[in-house]
Amino acid sequence: MKKQLKNYIFLELVILIALCITPSLACAQAEQGNVITNQIQATDFSAIQQKIDEATAQYSNQLDNINIKEITSALGSGKFSWHPMDILKSLSMLLFGEVRANLSLMLKIIALALITSLLTTLQASFGKKSGACDIAFYACYIVIISLSITVFKNASGDALRFIDLTGNFITIFTPLLMLSLAGAGHVISVSVVQPTIIISTQIIVFIIKNYLLPLAFCTIALNIASNISCNFKLNNLIKLFENIIKWSLGIMLTVFVGLISIQTMVAPNLDALTARTAKYAVGTFVPVVGSVLSDSIGLVFTYGNAIKTAVGMGGLISLLLICVIPLIKCMVQMGIMQFSAAVIEPIADSRLVNAITGMRSGLTLIFIMMITLTIMFLINITIVTNMKI
């Protein structure tokens, strides 16, 4: 009986302690979320928000307003939610909207190619070469190339704006990310990584804008000239320029990511050594409250890591949202040109098919530049955000 009574009293004590601790834990978690949210709300996002607003203004009909502070706060408080089906629905609507916008271009190219084929057939039926048919062919060739150049011009304009926007985004977002990184105890890492990111970004954007993008224009011009005549070809020169662009992008991506990876492997070790030394010094040499202050330093770094992760993820999501529309537009334009070339190939002159295929190759080079820049910056933010002491 006494044993049962003792067990009963012990059980009551356990339940009472559990009831007392549970609200305390809930309050502590709520307080932690409030501290992180308040710190994020106190951070100035105005500069980076201005660049995001510029991007959304260009695609106001296709992209809703993006508020990076709200996204970061939701991530910091754990209230951020996303719905994959809604995202897929939005992407599909955007994709089909771009297809509808470029459908008339494809129909014009196919119709003109059909007219050119009919003229060529008439020329063959007469059994001799007709100067009028040649003139008609070149007239149709010029019209089709003009339509294709309009597409390429629009794509290159989008690419220039895209390169400027992403470069400015990273240049402005990096100090903000470095500030949250310093709050998490990565003081040495900030002094090492920040100059590398900003300088590398400026160099890469400069090379793409002033050398690689004009080189893509040259490939288009050479492709047009190469397909005017059956006897004058510049295919090897075009392939040389395309390989220069691809190799340059691959080298820049490798060097940039490799440099950041090496720095983020070495610098956090120095940060960890500094943090442990500071905690040991405070705990040892400060009387009475030294151990409390030492534990407080660890708590501050923990909050800093949570804020750093929220800021980094907010930047990633914002960058993806402003990059997805230009990438989809360029991808659809590539698909339209490739589909047009595939449809007219059985009926049209090979020079015309090769010219349209060359235009698609030029658009592919622009798409590669854009996607490489996007991947480069996404990897950069991810590596820095995952740094830990």
pLDDT of residue 317: 86
Considering only residues 273 and 178, tell me which one the structure prediction assigns the higher pLDDT.
178
Share of the chain above pLDDT 70, in %: 78
Considering only residues 65 and 326, tell me which one the structure prediction assigns the higher pLDDT.
326
> If you ran DSSP here, which 8-state letter would residue 212 be given?
I
DSSP assignment of 151-192 equals HHHHHHHHHHHHHHHHHHHHHHHHHHHHHHHHHTT-HHHHHH
**Helix locations, the chain, DSSP H:** 2-42, 46-58, 68-77, 84-126, 131-183, 187-207, 213-226, 235-285, 290-344, 350-385
Read off the pLDDT of residues 145-199 as tens digits, 9 standing for 90 and up. 888 888 888 888 888 989 988 888 888 888 888 888 877 777 788 888 888 888 8
* Separation of CA 276 from chain center: 36
pLDDT of residue 207: 92
Phi then psi for 49, rounded to 5 degrees?
-65, -35
Phi then psi for 343, rounded to 5 degrees?
-70, -40
Q: What is the mean pLDDT of residues 328-341?
A: 88
* pLDDT band (50, 70, 90) for residue 29: very low
* Cβ atoms 159, 366 nearer than 8 A: yes
Burial of 32 (0-12, 13-18, 19+ CB in 10 A): middle
pLDDT averaged over the chain? 77
Q: Which residues are CB-contacts of 278 (< 8 A; sequence separation ≥ 6)?
A: 297
Read off the pLDDT of residues 275-331 as tens digits, 9 standing for 90 and up. 667 666 656 655 655 565 566 666 667 777 778 888 888 888 888 888 888 898 889
Q: What is the mean pLDDT of residues 95-105?
A: 82
Considering only residues 231 and 278, tell me which one the structure prediction assigns the higher pLDDT.
231
Nearest to 154 by CA among 105, 100, 215, 87: 105
Considering only residues 21 and 122, tell me which one the structure prediction assigns the higher pLDDT.
122
Q: Which residues are CB-contacts of 247 (< 8 A; sequence separation ≥ 6)?
A: none
Considering only residues 87 and 96, tell me which one the structure prediction assigns the higher pLDDT.
96
